[in-house]
């Protein structure tokens, strides 16, 4: 007997029910899975943001640390450079004087820019191989001269150190006074007292009208002032110093025409027991370098005496040493003056603008001193102490000068030249009968090695 048929719709309903349950079940699982994905996605986004934030913080901290390290190292380098440029001067003078610190000399670059109107052309006083010099006015009204060294300047860190150490320590009315320096942003700047009459060469050689302002009284004052400044460097200060670059452009003049020696970049500091030195690096200015320095690299206080003698003759004659003085002569100023000295006509070398302003014995005495200073043998040259005495006291008898260094005579005039001596008591020249031995070596060109 066959089984009874299922109730109508019951199988279909079961199938439908199962189908519906299945659909429900399938839908529930899908929604649950989507929810999990959403939650998981939301979690991933939060983690990503956290990672980004952490990364940003780490980078920021790292940059900050690098910046702090940079500032620290920059400060250390600055201190090291300052220590290199201005070491303590305790050893230099025995420690009796107060040690000069670099901080007392450092000036802010912004202050210097403001004082010079940002190094404007209107403020420029001059320019040379070392760089430019500007006039400036500080906020307190003080006038300054700003020496801004160029990057290509031959005056390097060593010369800058020299100038800072020496000028800062030396105090004399005939030496230029250093106010400070600036070593920021690759700048190398020296700041000095401002001297309104600039340098001596501007009066002697640049403008005939200005040369006439140098009467004999002013010229003698300059000659004497330079001698006292050199004496201080050589003997009177606690430091024994050879300048090595004394020349007319390095003599500055204040408002009262008081001379002040400047530019100590090449100066050499000696120990008390040292008397001379030697170098293979010949540096200086043609016409002022002593022969032993040019030829052998030897320098001493007598090298400065030679340069001083050249200066004296330039001041008296108003002529440069390196230029021909007469149409028929190609000799230097030393040859020109020596020629007239041996011929008894030394008064003819006097600057024409001084005619009638001075006594001939005063002029002849200065020429005599100048010739003593430029003698070829360093041992024959007087010390600066002797020079100061010769200038201040006319009762001191002067020895006869020998042939100056670098003097060149033509062979036709090299024989039988008569020696000229000066009687210091009356300042008159008189001829002696002995023959002068003349150096016939010709040096056509001098170049630093």
Inter-residue long-range contacts of 30-37, CB under 8 Å, 24+ positions, other chains counted:
none
Question: Is beta strand 189-193 parallel, antiparallel or unpaired with respect to 143-149?
Answer: antiparallel
Catalytic residue among 201, 236, 245, 426: 245
Query: What SS3 string covers the chain?
Result: CCCCCCCCCHHHHHHHHHHHHHHHHHHHHHHHHHHHHHHHHHHHHHHHHHHHHHHHHHHHHHHHHHHHHHHHHHHHHHHHHHHHHCCCCHHHHCCCCCCCCHHHCECCHHHHHHHCCCCCHHHEEEEECCEEEEEEECCCCCEEEEEEECCCCCCCHHHHHHHHHHHHHCCCCCECCEEEEECCCCCCEEEEECCCCCEHHHHHHHCHHHHCCCCHHHHHHHHHHHHHHHHHHHHHCCCEEECCCCCHHHEEECCCCCEEECCCCCCEEECCCCCEEECCCCCCCCCCCCHHHHHHCEEEHHHHHHHHHHHHHHHHHCCCCCCCCCCCCCCCHHHHHHHHHHCCCHHHHCCHHHCCCCCHHHHHHHHHHHHHHCECCHHHCCCHHHHHHHHHCCCCCCCCCCCECCCCCCHHHCCCCEEEEEECCCCEEEEEEEECCCCCCCCCCCCCC
Check: CB of residue 419 under 8 Å from CB of residue 342. yes
Q: In degrees to the nearest 10, what's the CA dihedral of 327, 330, 334, 338?
A: -70
Is 245 an annotated catalytic residue?
A: yes
Distance, in Å, from the CA atom of 89 to the CA atom of 319, rounded to the nearest integer, reads 40
Q: State yes or no: 260 annotated in a binding site.
A: no
* Other Cβ atoms closer than 10 A to 88: 13
Question: Is beta strand 240-242 parallel, antiparallel or unpaired with respect to 268-270?
Answer: antiparallel
User: Which residues participate in catalysis according to the annotation?
Assistant: 245
**Binding site: which residues?**
147
Which residue positions form the known binding site for ATP? 147
């Amino acid at each position: 007997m066959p089984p009874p048929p299922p109730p109508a719709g019951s199988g279909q309903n079961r199938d439908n029910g199962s189908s519906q349950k299945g659909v429900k079940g399938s839908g529930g699982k899908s929604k649950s899975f989507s929810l999990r994905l959403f939650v998981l996605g939301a979690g991933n986004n939060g983690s990503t943001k956290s990672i980004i934030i952490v990364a940003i913080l780490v980078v920021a901290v790292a940059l900050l640390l690098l910046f702090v390290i940079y500032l620290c190292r920059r400060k250390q380098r600055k201190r090291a450079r300052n220590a290199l440029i201005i070491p303590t001067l305790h050893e230099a003078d025995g420690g009796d004087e107060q040690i000069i610190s670099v901080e007392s000399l450092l000036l802010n670059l912004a202050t210097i820019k403001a004082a010079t109107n940002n190094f404007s052309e209107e403020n420029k006083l001059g320019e040379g191989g070392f760089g430019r010099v500007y006039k400036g006015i500080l906020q307190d009204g003080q006038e300054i001269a700003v020496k801004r060294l160029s990057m290509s300047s031959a005056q390097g860190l060593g010369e800058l150190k020299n100038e800072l150490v020496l000028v800062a320590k030396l105090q004399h009315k005939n030496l230029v006074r250093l106010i400070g320096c600036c070593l920021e942003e690759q700048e190398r700047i020296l700041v000095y007292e401002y001297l309104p009459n600039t340098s001596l060469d501007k009066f002697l050689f640049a403008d005939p009208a200005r040369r006439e302002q140098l009467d004999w009284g002013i010229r003698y004052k300059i000659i004497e002032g330079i001698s006292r400044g050199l004496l201080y460097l050589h003997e009177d200060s606690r430091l024994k110093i050879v300048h090595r670059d004394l020349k007319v452009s390095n003599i500055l003049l204040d408002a009262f025409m008081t001379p002040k020696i400047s530019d100590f970049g090449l100066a050499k500091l000696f120990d008390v027991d040292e008397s001379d030195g030697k170098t293979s690096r010949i540096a200086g200015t043609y016409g002022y370098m002593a022969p032993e320095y040019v030829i052998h690299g030897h320098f001493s206080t007598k090298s400065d005496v030679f340069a001083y003698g050249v200066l004296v003759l330039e001041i008296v004659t108003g002529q440069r040493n390196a230029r021909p003085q007469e149409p028929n002569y190609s000799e230097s100023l030393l040859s020109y003056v020596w020629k007239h000295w041996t011929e008894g006509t030394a008064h003819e070398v006097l600057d024409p603008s001084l005619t009638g302003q001075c006594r001939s014995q005063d002029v002849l005495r200065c020429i005599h001193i100048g010739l003593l200073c430029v003698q070829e043998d360093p041992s024959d040259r007087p010390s600066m102490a002797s020079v100061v005495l010769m200038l201040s006291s006319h009762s001191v008898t002067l020895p006869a000068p020998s042939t100056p260094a670098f003097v060149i005579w033509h062979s036709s005039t090299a024989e039988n030249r008569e020696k000229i001596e000066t009687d210091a008591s009356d300042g008159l020249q008189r001829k002696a009968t002995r023959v002068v031995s003349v150096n016939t070596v010709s040096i056509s060109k001098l170049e630093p090695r």
